[in-house]
Chain A
Amino acid sequence: MDLIFYASLITLGGLGLLFGAGLAFASKKFAVDIDPKVEQIIETLPGANCGACGYPGCSAYAEAVVAGNAPPNKCIPGGEDVTQNIASILGITGVESAEAKVAAIRCQGGKEEAVEKFIYSGIEDCHAALLINGGHKACRYGCLGLGSCAKACPFDAIEMNKNGLPVVIEDKCTGCGVCVQTCPRNIIELIPISQNVYLGCVSKDRTKAVKSVCKVGCFACQLCTKPKVAPSGSIEMEGNLPVIRDIHNEEELFAAYDKCPAHSYVIRGERPVQKEEQKVETEKQ
């Protein structure tokens, strides 16, 4: 009995030692040189593999950064913190991070505002809906409202509201741009986080065509580009659609928001209290 016990202990223990030694040897002999910086950078990246940097995933981007093929400020979801972390890992200073961006839905024509050509009862996917008579929305440019962008968002930052329109939850949105790629109608745009007013319509149609299909569509009245609204020319017409040239000229943009007869302009978040009112309030205090 004892003999069997010791014999098996010695053979199995011996085998274990032998294989252990083999593995130890192999790990030294066949070691793949991974730059420790790559591992550090992978750790600091968010790990969503969203592809906003232009690389297939976070590790591919990390390798590219270490190899010197990519600048350290490409991780949009990571923002300022990640950029600075990567810079310090690489030992670079003075890297400016790209301005954070946020997705903006440039269509406000939900079920209530926009006319539908027919009752759609097919698959819940915008790409598929587009194959049936070119989509059920009468507007050729409008949101189909089936939530392909919401399903595609890797950060769950888009929700569909009851009116059949996507809503961006800005706290969660990292500006990675996956939704922009997904939307078959090219309605979603990434705007700088400091831009507070944007045009919520992408229709290039003329007045009559827009008015007949949507209550909130821009029908190219050109009012917002007139000198009394935008004296410095921060808004210009391009075809049938106004384009914002100076995104930070808020005075004029808010004026455009107020004047727009179709209510096509959208304000992100809450509108800051106007300066005069602020003054009054401070005086009161």
Chain B
Amino acid sequence: MGLVKQRTFLGGIHPPGKKHQTEKFATETPPLPPEVIIPLQQHIGAPSEPVVEKGSRVDVGDPLSKCEKFVSVPVHASISGTVTSIEERLHPSGMNQLSVIIENDGKDHWRSDIQFDQDYLDLSIDDMRDRIRDAGIAGMGGATFPTHVKLSPPRDKEIDTLIINGAECEPFLTSDHRLMLEEPKKILLGIQIMARILEVKKIIIAIEKNKPDAIRMMRKNCNEGNFSYRVPGLPVKYPQGAEKQLIYAITRRRVPAGGLPMDIGCVVHNVGTAVAVYEAVAYKRPLVERFVTVAGPGVQQPKNLRLRIGTPYQYIFDYCGGLKESTAEIIMGGPMMGIAQSSLDVPVIKGTSGLLAFEKRNVLNKAENVCISCARCVDACPMKLMPTTIANYVKHGYFDKADEFNALDCMECGSCAYLCPSHINLVHYIRYGKSEIVKRKKKAKVA
């Protein structure tokens, strides 16, 4: 393939991959924690209401909450035991959220109706969707958008391409990589279900070229069964795994500003979501565990782990030999878009792809300098925005001007701030601008 035909998007950056730390380690399953904290809100959309009470006995897979709204998913008990309380606990987002605390009875007793359903492929599409929703599946790449919503395109929108996202462009993270190596069958069966629901013919599994073994593994089963797919190797670049960038890299279609991938006939799902979909439809098994990479220079023994939702960080780091004394920052997710954590009493949620610990020397904390107009941020922006211009408008309170420069299109990938030689907090300015723009628009609507 020549340079011209490179499957990629414009802009982006090349941070050091740092994946060698954990990419060769097979996933381990640590013993179950003595207590799990399950926040009721682990997805984007309407919050769910608890259906259990203090003192209720729950089996693994029992629903803990429900919600009638469409854009919402329930959460489930990830261990068997007793609900000790329903109270506000710190959520990975940094805010307090209503959470269900379950004490482990050590039996790991699963709900009895979780069994393999031989005829799952004969189910109607609506039944499949209902099983996916009842299993509480929310996008496992990190954005946690309810999966059944993405699998219910409106009638007037024809979907022709299903893209399965195994790009994993964030440095350090290897959980999707290990998943592709260890559960390829489940991924393919999950894709089969999603393809059936969406009625698409063209299926593409997108993997970056720095994971050649995963590409080989997924290609091996090509054309097996009654559906075929392609596995192109994508050049290594950040943010290749971002939805809009991935669609452009593969189909050369652009999602219109403010639009959704559905508008241009594409749906993107993470590989982890594919596994969860298979387990939900074939076994009626809710989403109670996920693959998590524990890495970074601050961890004694970096590992890939299969963890139950709700496992507290402290327990996980203890299993990985503890944190080094010099650890200064913990990040949930990747180093580029992840959220810095302020406590170790926070649980793993559906969107936790990694837990990274960094030492003081890794943490950039330099004073902001003036913009030297080098335009590196403009070159790198994968959304073709002008980060420095937007940041300047926001700095001086011209939020309507920032809106004119499409600040709302920013997905906060951090490429601009990563490159900025003046250490300007570009993403923070833009995020602040976005929040003010949305606030003002809401106000204008009310008035």
Contact code string A104-140 (vs B, CB < 8 Å = 1, else 0):
0000000000000111011101011001111000001
Check B336 for interface membership: any CB of A closer than 8 A: no
Identify the closest chain A residue to B92 (Cβ): A133
A123 CA to B365 CA, complexed, in Å: 12
Q: Which residues of A contact B428 (CB under 8 A)?
A: 122-123, 128, 131-132
A119 CA to B95 CA, complexed, in Å: 16
- The answer to whether B429 and A128 touch across the interface, beta carbons within 8 angstroms, is yes
- Contacting B at CB under 8 A, from A72-126, are 117-119, 121-123, 125
Out of B93, B95, B432, name the residue touching A127 (CB < 8 Å).
B432
Expressed in whole angstroms, the minimum distance between the Cβ of B271 and any Cβ of chain A is 29
Q: Which residues of B contact A119 (CB under 8 A)?
A: 365
A123 CA to B392 CA, complexed, in Å: 12
Check B221 for interface membership: any CB of A closer than 8 A: no
- The answer to whether B340 and A128 touch across the interface, beta carbons within 8 angstroms, is no
- The answer to whether A133 and B429 touch across the interface, beta carbons within 8 angstroms, is no
Check B401 for interface membership: any CB of A closer than 8 A: no
Check B160 for interface membership: any CB of A closer than 8 A: no
Check B403 for interface membership: any CB of A closer than 8 A: no
Check B19 for interface membership: any CB of A closer than 8 A: no
A121 CA to B366 CA, complexed, in Å: 9
Q: Which residues of A contact B342 (CB under 8 A)?
A: 117-118, 133
Contact code string B358-370 (vs A, CB < 8 Å = 1, else 0):
0000000100000
Check B435 for interface membership: any CB of A closer than 8 A: yes
A198 CA to B22 CA, complexed, in Å: 57
Expressed in whole angstroms, the minimum distance between the Cβ of B63 and any Cβ of chain A is 28
Q: Which residues of B contact A131 (CB under 8 A)?
A: 428, 431-432, 435
Out of A121, A122, A123, A133, name the residue touching B339 (CB < 8 Å).
A133
- The answer to whether A122 and B95 touch across the interface, beta carbons within 8 angstroms, is no
Q: Which residues of A contact B425 (CB under 8 A)?
A: 122-123
Contact code string A125-161 (vs B, CB < 8 Å = 1, else 0):
1011001111000001000000000000000000000
- The answer to whether A121 and B96 touch across the interface, beta carbons within 8 angstroms, is no
Expressed in whole angstroms, the minimum distance between the Cβ of A129 and any Cβ of chain B is 9
Check B436 for interface membership: any CB of A closer than 8 A: yes
Expressed in whole angstroms, the minimum distance between the Cβ of B57 and any Cβ of chain A is 28
Out of A117, A121, A128, A133, name the residue touching B432 (CB < 8 Å).
A128
**Looking at chain A, what size class is its interface with the partner chain?**
10 to 19
Q: Which residues of B contact A117 (CB under 8 A)?
A: 94, 342-343
Contact code string B323-340 (vs A, CB < 8 Å = 1, else 0):
000000000000000011
How many residue pairs link A and B with beta carbons under 8 A? The number is: 38
- The answer to whether B94 and A123 touch across the interface, beta carbons within 8 angstroms, is no
A121 CA to B95 CA, complexed, in Å: 19
Expressed in whole angstroms, the minimum distance between the Cβ of A117 and any Cβ of chain B is 4
A128 CA to B432 CA, complexed, in Å: 5
- The answer to whether B365 and A127 touch across the interface, beta carbons within 8 angstroms, is no
- The answer to whether B95 and A133 touch across the interface, beta carbons within 8 angstroms, is yes
A118 CA to B339 CA, complexed, in Å: 12
- The answer to whether A134 and B432 touch across the interface, beta carbons within 8 angstroms, is no
Contact code string B77-97 (vs A, CB < 8 Å = 1, else 0):
000000000000000011110
Contacts A123-B425, A128-B432; A133 near B340 (Cβ below 8 A): yes
Q: Which residues of B contact A134 (CB under 8 A)?
A: 93-95
Expressed in whole angstroms, the minimum distance between the Cβ of B343 and any Cβ of chain A is 8
Q: Which residues of A contact B94 (CB under 8 A)?
A: 117, 132-134
- The answer to whether B340 and A127 touch across the interface, beta carbons within 8 angstroms, is no
- The answer to whether A133 and B93 touch across the interface, beta carbons within 8 angstroms, is yes
A125 CA to B343 CA, complexed, in Å: 24
Contacts A133-B339, A133-B340, A133-B342; A123 near B432 (Cβ below 8 A): yes
A127 CA to B434 CA, complexed, in Å: 12
A122 CA to B368 CA, complexed, in Å: 9
Expressed in whole angstroms, the minimum distance between the Cβ of B425 and any Cβ of chain A is 6
Q: Which residues of A contact B339 (CB under 8 A)?
A: 133
Contacts A117-B342, A122-B428, A133-B339; A127 near B96 (Cβ below 8 A): no
Expressed in whole angstroms, the minimum distance between the Cβ of A242 and any Cβ of chain B is 24
- Interface residue ranges, B against A (CB under 8 Å): 93-96, 339-340, 342-343, 365, 425, 428-429, 431-432, 435-436
A122-B428, A123-B429, A133-B93 known; 14 other A-B pairs, CB under 8 Å? A117-B94, A117-B342, A118-B342, A119-B365, A123-B432, A127-B432, A127-B436, A128-B432, A131-B431, A131-B432, A131-B435, A134-B93, A134-B95, A140-B96
- Interface residue ranges, A against B (CB under 8 Å): 117-119, 121-123, 125, 127-128, 131-134, 140
21 inter-chain pairs at a CB distance below 8 angstroms, sorted by A residue, are A117-B94, A117-B343, A118-B340, A118-B342, A122-B425, A122-B428, A123-B428, A123-B429, A123-B432, A127-B435, A128-B428, A128-B429, A128-B432, A131-B431, A133-B93, A133-B94, A133-B95, A133-B339, A133-B342, A134-B95, A140-B96
